[in-house]
Amino acid sequence: MAIRTFCLSLAAVATLSNSASAALKHLYTFNDGAVTDSVGGANGTLEAGAVIVAGQLTLSGGGQFANLPAATIGINAYTKTTLELWVNAAPASNNQFTMAAAFGRHGNAGAGAGEDANLGYDYIMVQPTRGAGELFSRAAITDGTYSEETGVNGSILAGTGQKYLAVTIDSSAGVDNTTLSYYINGALIGTANGTDDLADVGNAVAYLGKSVYANDPYFTGSINEFRIHNDVLTPAQIAASSTAGPAGLAGPTLTINRDTGAVTLSNQQAAIQVFSYSITSASGGLNPASWTTVAGHFDSAGNGSFDSNDAWSTTALTKTAITEEEPFGDGGAEDGGTLGTVTFSTNGGWIKSFREDVAITTQALINGVPTTLIPDIKYVGNGGQPFKRSDLNFDNVINGNDWIVFRNNNLVALDPNLSDAQTAALGDLNGDGVSNFLDFRVFQADFDAANGVGALSALVGAVPEPSSFAIGLSAVSALLLSGRTSRRRTTV
């Protein structure tokens, strides 16, 4: 009976975690100087000399565009979508049919397809400028070519400065029943209904600044940010987005990826000369073995990507502290390195843990004066949530699998070389270096909070226990009676 109860609760948890929530799926801010999808990982490429200037995709015409991985994005798998763009259409685009964003395919004239290779087919377009005599903008979807479009025309954009464009498309009402709405600067311009479903959109190309029509001019201007949602934002949400604006350029920021352990120090604003940094974690959440030091890698002794004219020295490289500096008075340039982006670790530099206690201090030259500069710290990944204490296998559920890990390590001597961040994953939840009854109480509380009062007792009673744990439970009593406490080792 107890087993059955527990299985039901696991199924309930699985249902919760599988209910995909409507959300922002892809985000291109261009603020890191690349066509990076910071939400969905569908990174794009700059084509034909397209550049990013101050966080904006900047297209000067003549074939420049950003190419996005259409199949990876898979917009035709959605039943609803919202596209958001901050666009500045240059006067040069006036009188031209351009596309700031386009999903679809080019015409296929071969193999009896009977299509015109110069035309676009099965597309969604955000068209900031149109041809002579039609100087308005337009958003449309089609399951054929231009003559089958369902779309809405808006005001003239070219030469009017940065505009926020939003297009919502809803094909959830059934086959051949799609509603498209077009907004400019948060205000609804119009709504159209037609038979052009999202499922009919081609999945061959996704462009920013290039048309699916082969002979259309390339968009001239800039795109500050592009977002793709798999839902229809409400008018209130679009108005709020318009008010909030695109993401600004971030100052110095230490970014820690919970999923990969990647650690990066970056700065999207004007370059800063940094001449030392100190990164610490009281629980020992740093992994020197997966850390790439400035010294010997990014300094004059390495590839010079951070500091080309000074040799740095590493003054600490442990799980609790990593510090480096450009030595003063060594005859070097004394101007530190130019931040930029320094990738300390692409994988495993941060040890997965429910504790997020990393701190960073840097010394920088601000207007030529040595100044203490504290970067922001940003944890990303794991759906935007810290790991839960007692989720020992880091799958965001506290269940029987975590219990097995806990049980197998409880009252077992843990490797004294492990830091608190590492022993936590073995069940030392209070960070005293041993996994004992005190940790059991913490685990039990977390388990029952996640699965219901008495859930752990039901599980332990239901699952045949290896004899080792039976012994362990006896030992727990002995531990409590002895009142023994343990504090071991310095953490390095």
Q: Enumerate binding residues for Ca ion (CB under 5 A).
A: 29-31, 55, 224-225, 307, 309-310, 333, 335, 391, 393, 395, 397, 402, 428, 430, 432, 439
* Burial track 167-206 (b if 16+ CB lie within 10 A, e otherwise): bbbbbeeeeeebbbbbbbbbeebeebebebbbebbbbbbb
Based on CB atoms, which residue is closest to Ca ion, 107 or 261? Answer: 261
CB of 333 to Ca ion, least distance (A): 4
Nearest position to Ca ion, beta carbon? 55
Non-local CB neighbours of 256 within 8 Å, separated by 6+ positions? 262, 263, 350, 356, 358, 377, 378, 379, 380
Is 409 in a helix, a strand, or coil? Answer: helix
d(CA 214, CA 44): 20
Based on CB atoms, which residue is closest to Ca ion, 29 or 129? Answer: 29
Q: In 183-326, where does DSSP find H-type helix?
A: 235-244
398, 10 Cβ separation under 8 angstroms: no
66, 207 Cβ separation under 8 angstroms: yes
- Conformational region of residue 147, where left means phi above 0, alpha means psi within -120 to 50, and beta covers everything else: alpha
Based on CB atoms, which residue is closest to Ca ion, 143 or 307? Answer: 307
CB of 159 to Ca ion, least distance (A): 21
d(CA 313, CA 80): 53
CB of 479 to Ca ion, least distance (A): 11
CB of 393 to Ca ion, least distance (A): 4
| Bridge-based pairing state of the strands 56-60 and 220-229 | antiparallel
Based on CB atoms, which residue is closest to Ca ion, 324 or 391? Answer: 391
Based on CB atoms, which residue is closest to Ca ion, 96 or 222? Answer: 222
CB of 53 to Ca ion, least distance (A): 10
CB of 330 to Ca ion, least distance (A): 11
| CB-neighbour burial class of residue 44 (10 A; exposed 0-12, middle 13-18, buried 19+) | buried
Based on CB atoms, which residue is closest to Ca ion, 222 or 281? Answer: 222
CB of 13 to Ca ion, least distance (A): 10
Is 350 in a helix, a strand, or coil? Answer: strand
342, 285 Cβ separation under 8 angstroms: no
| Angle (nearest 5°) at CA 340 between 339 and 345 | 95
Based on CB atoms, which residue is closest to Ca ion, 325 or 402? Answer: 402
CB of 56 to Ca ion, least distance (A): 5
Based on CB atoms, which residue is closest to Ca ion, 442 or 462? Answer: 442
d(CA 126, CA 110): 28
Based on CB atoms, which residue is closest to Ca ion, 143 or 225? Answer: 225
d(CA 102, CA 209): 8
Based on CB atoms, which residue is closest to Ca ion, 333 or 462? Answer: 333
Residue count of the chain: 492
CB of 49 to Ca ion, least distance (A): 19
CB of 337 to Ca ion, least distance (A): 6
The two tokens of residue 323 are: 């510090």
Residue 386: DSSP 8-state: P
Residue 78 exposure: Cα atoms within 13 Å on the Cβ side: 30
